[in-house]
Structure 1
Amino acid sequence: MSLPTRDLSTRLLLNLAPWRNATTWRVAFSGGLDSTVLLHLLAHLAKTQSLPALSAIYVHHGLQAAADAWPQHCQSVCGALGVPLQVVHVQVQPGASLERAARDARYGAFVEATQANELLLTAQHRDDQAETLLFRLLRGAGVRGLSGMPRERVLGRGHLLRPLLDVTRAELEAYAAEHRLSWIEDPSNQDRQFSRNYLRHQVFPVLTERWPQATATMARTAAHLSEAQGLLDELAHIDLASANTANEFDWLGLPSLELAPLVRLSAARQRNALSHWLAALTRLPDSDHWSGWDDLRDATGDARPVWRLAEGELHRAGGRIWWLSGRWLRVPPPVGLWTDPSTTLVLPENGELTITGQIPAGPLQIRYREGGEVMNLPERGHRDLKRLLNERGVPGFVRGRLPLLYRDAQLLAVANLRGLDGNEQEGWHLQWDPLSEDQGLS
């Protein structure tokens, strides 16, 4: 083994040292130069080192005819190396950016494949990091974007690691030439209409002719910004701790924050804290769309402001901001007669409903608010339901899906609201378990 090869293997093994206890190392294998070198390096290291189980995954996007032959090439390479290969076919959703749509589909497949204590390895290198920095700079990214691709992050139930970020494209090319590796040349990589290809083929050659160390310098800048982003994340944790308070509607299972502690922060710290909180929920808005936060924060009186984002909405109610997505944004269909109140009732698009204690005499029905409902309360007489919900501070977005129990035309109970949820004397209560999934959490 030559010195350059040994040096590259040593560096790779050092970068992977914290992950030696993983159950599986799975290589995201495209058949291109970078992932071919990574897979070859790992397969040969496995012959002399005690490593986790090694496998590969190929994601077939189906975007070009030439790609139909690539899974067979990847299978041939993996077979020669003794590495199991999983081929996953994905559907790329149409959109404004084919690059982003393909990436979303690809990483969706990676998330599905990555289990607990497993590691997905991707082959991005130092030149890729420099291209990412320049690409995001031209799009007006902030510190988070300019910190580039993280070396590691959570992926699905496991983690993603980029162990070659300190390796140059030239080093990978030299390794491939030395070991006479064969790889796929994707024709789309030459298409200058894609921004990254334009930067790679048109811009970086000019930059490196004038500044030979440009890629190394830019990758170092990304590392500095990554450190700065780490400090901003620490500040966000501090600021969010005071806003992440308990409330009487925690049983909704929705992400929410108390508004007052956020409002006391400077505008920049507000955006920093919210960016950190929203990053797990949705794609973050660009600078021009943060006015939606200002409108939400500054709304007064009876206003029910909503800030619509890529994967959901922020609502304001009861002195808090609430994240809604998925089924929470759809109107649940009518329910009707509850034929067997002794069993759990599945509410379409709206969770589950049970009656605890003695089942009241029927026939019973489940309805949702339409307006004008009246409830007869002991010692209070007939009360308007809207006023009762106002007294309890029930968020507006909950009211239309709060299950109501009827016997004929009589409103007997409002689920989960103490004092309204049943009959203490008869010993029964209406218990609603709201949506437990598809809330847009990522």
Structure 2
Amino acid sequence: MQHRIVPQVIEQLKPWQRAPAWCVAFSGGLDSTVLLHILATQIPPSSRPALRAVYIHHGLQQAAEDWPAHCQSVCEQLGVALSVIKIKVAQQASVEQAARNARYTAYAEHLQPEELLLMAQHQDDQAETLLFRLLRGSGITGLQAIPRQRALGQAHLLRPLLGIARQELEDYAQQHQLNWVEDPSNAEEYFDRNFLRRQIIPLLKQRWPATLSVLQRATEHMREAQQLLNDLAQLDLQQAQLAAPISWLPLAGLQLDKIAKLSDKRQKNLLRYWLADKTPAIETQHWAGWYDLRDAKADAQPVWRLQQGALVRYQQQLYWLPESWLASVETVQLEITKPGRYVLPGNGVLEVQGELPVLIHIRYRQGGEQMQLPTRGRRDLKRLLQEQNIPQFLRQRIPLAYMQQQLIAVANCSSLQGAKAKQFQLYWYPPP
């Protein structure tokens, strides 16, 4: 007799019938064992893509050393190929978070384009995650808890058990006499999630039997609210998007004067949306950095440092600088005698076109440079770059051409060419 959870899983998988393959994130525990068994035995091979499994070996506890062999045995019984991937977990305050980050990175690197990764989180996990984030004071984004599906690198991730309670999975496992491993760390109530799972959620279910389904419904409400906030952010972004005054600059930007007209709450909503793919979620205490940047004097050069980069201001323009752009570039002393493309360490590529004099030297700005222009005489380079509307953070990176110690050309600035540079052009392609 088919267990009642099987049709629910099959329904979740209908949109993914044309994926190149289904790959199960297999830990050997109850949840992933049930999921793998359903896919391998309850869905005919002719009705699904190729099926395989992947086990991520963290090496964090002695008990786990036997789990790869167990997973291999289960997969052999089911006729499913298994890949075992060993990873190193970074040493940091939260070992759980570090392991999770390393695990998802490994999945993203291992999966093939458009392949579907199937993970076995269930309704109890959803409730646990929602309560955990609520107690941390998370906003609407965090209170959406575990998403049912999302992109993962070039592949996709789906959680087909998310609407099914763990008790249902236990019933299925007992019906089919499945064997699984138990992670001893799950019994350690020192960990917050384990405490919620073992102490708080059972109490809630005693008083309110529908706790799991109600909490899942709450996450769906949060997802709807987040979509409305995203729609509002998109409208605000259309008004604030920076129409790049520098066509060759591959950096995202916003217009500060347009953002400043919004309420504080809409400013934060817009920035959360715009920065979502650039930096992890911004903690409440870090928003003071935004107000400092926004309200700084016109001639200031404020920087709002965040994870993986920073938001900087130049006049009324905001730019996001990735981490690689915040480091100082190496001193460069290129000698060029012929046209071509030249790699600038940590600073993109320089392309030289046209006819060169015998020799030109490529350097970066150090300060105090002057330049002789045919119609303007001798001018300070600092003032010339200001006139070209070159942001401050670019001025130490933009390549300069010298001949016999005389500055004769500035890359990407056709109006900043001396008389000796009329026969060639410098095109700088900054790092992405």
Question: What residue is the counterpart of 1:308 in the other structure?
Answer: 305
State the match for 2:398 in structure 1. Answer: 402
State the 1:250 CA deviation.
Answer: 3.9
Give a deviation string over 1:70-96, Cα, whole Å, max 9, x none: 112111111221212221111111112
Query: Could you tell me how far 1:387 is from its partner in structure 2?
Result: 0.5
For 1:56, the equivalent position in structure 2 comes to: 53
1:105 to 86, 102, 107: 102
Q: CA deviation at 1:424?
A: 9.3
Identity of paired residues, percent?
Answer: 51
CA distance in 1, matches of 2:191, 2:85: 24
Specify whether residues 260 and 211 from structure 1 end up closer, same or farther in structure 2 by C-alpha distance, changes over 3 A only: same
Assess if the C-alpha contact under 8 Å between 1:334 and 1:368 holds in 2: yes
Indicate conservation of the 8 Å contact 2:350/2:429, yes or no.
yes
Give 1:412's aligned residue.
Answer: 408
SS of corresponding position for 2:150:
strand
Instruction: Name the CA distance, whole Å, in 1 between partners of 2:417 and 2:172.
Output: 70
Which residue among 63, 67, 70 is the counterpart of 2:67?
A: 70
Q: CA deviation at 1:29?
A: 1.1
Q: 1:377 matched to which residue of 2?
A: 373
Deviation at residue 318 of structure 1 after TM alignment = 3.8
CA–CA separation in structure 2 for the residues paired with 1:423 and 1:142? 59
1:34 pairs with 31, 35, 51, which one? 31
Deviation of 1:408 after TM superposition, in Å, equals 2.7
Secondary structure at the aligned position of 2:282 is classed as coil
235-244 vs 31-40, which moves further? 235-244
Q: Give 1:48 shift.
A: 5.6
The superposition leaves residues 84-119 of structure 1 with CA deviations (integer Å, 9 ceiling, x where unpaired) of 222111111111211111111011111112332221
Task: Give me the whole-angstrom Cα distance separating, in 2, the residues matched to 1:61 and 1:146.
Answer: 28
1:122 and 1:272 mapped to 2: Cα distance? 31
Matches of 2:169 and 2:326 in 1, distance apart?
48
Does residue 429 (structure 1) correspond to residue 408 (structure 2)? The answer is no
CA distance in 2, matches of 1:320, 1:159: 36
In the alignment, is the contact (CA less than 8 A) between 1:36 and 1:183 conserved in 2? yes
What is the Cα deviation at residue 312 of structure 1?
1.2
Q: 2:236 matched to which residue of 1?
A: 239
Conserved in 2, the CA contact under 8 Å of 1:122 and 1:160? yes
SS in 1 for 2:340: coil
Q: CA RMSD in A?
A: 1.7
CA distance 1:361–1:97, shift in 2 (3 Å): same
**1:149 aligned to which of 143, 146, 149:** 146
> 1:62·1:68 contact (CA, 8 Å) conserved in 2?
yes
* 3-state SS of paired residue (1:344): strand
Q: Would the aligned equivalents of 1:404 and 1:414 in 2 still touch at CA under 8 Å?
A: yes
**Match runs of 1:106-121 below 5 Å:** 106-121=103-118
Q: State the shift of 1:377 in Å.
A: 0.8
Match of 1:56, as an amino acid?
Answer: A
Residues 427/293 of structure 1: CA separation in 2 closer, same or farther (3 Å cut): same
Which SS does the other structure have where 2:19 is aligned? coil
Q: Give, in angstroms, the shift of residue 422 of structure 1.
A: 7.1
**SS of alignment partner, residue 248 of structure 2:** helix
Q: Post-superposition shift, 1:341? A: 3.8
| Inter-CA distance 131–400: structure 2 relative to 1 (3 Å threshold) | same
Aligned with residue 207 of structure 1, among 193, 199, 204: 204
Partner of 2:265: 268
- TM-score, L = length of structure 2: 0.96
* Aligned partner letter, 2:399: P
Q: Identify which of 270, 286, 291 aligns with 2:288.
A: 291
Contact kept in structure 2, 1:121 and 1:160, CA below 8 Å: yes
Which runs of 5 or more structure 1 residues have no equivalent in the other structure?
A: 437-442
Q: Distance in 2 between matches of 1:322 and 1:410?
A: 32
Q: Which residue identity is paired with 1:94?
A: Q
Q: State the distance in 1 between where 2:180 and 2:337 align.
A: 63
Counterparts of 2:369 and 2:290 in 1: how far apart (Å)? 34
Indicate the residue corresponding to 2:253 in structure 1.
256
**TM-aligned CA distance change 1:337 to 1:51, over 3 Å:** same
* Structure 1 match to 2:77: 80
- 1:393 partner SS: coil
Amino acid in structure 2 at the alignment position of 1:431: Y
Structure 1-normalised TM-score? 0.94
- Matches of 1:421 and 1:91 in 2, distance apart? 52
Matches within 5 A, 1:339-358: 339-358=336-355
Distance, in Å, in 2 between the alignment partners of 1:98 and 1:228 is 32
Instruction: Give the 3-state SS of the residue equivalent to 1:353 in structure 2.
Output: strand
Greater Cα shift, 331-340 or 67-76: 331-340
| Equivalent residues of 1:422, 1:428 under 8 A apart | no
Residue of structure 2 aligned with 1:22, choices 19, 22, 37: 19
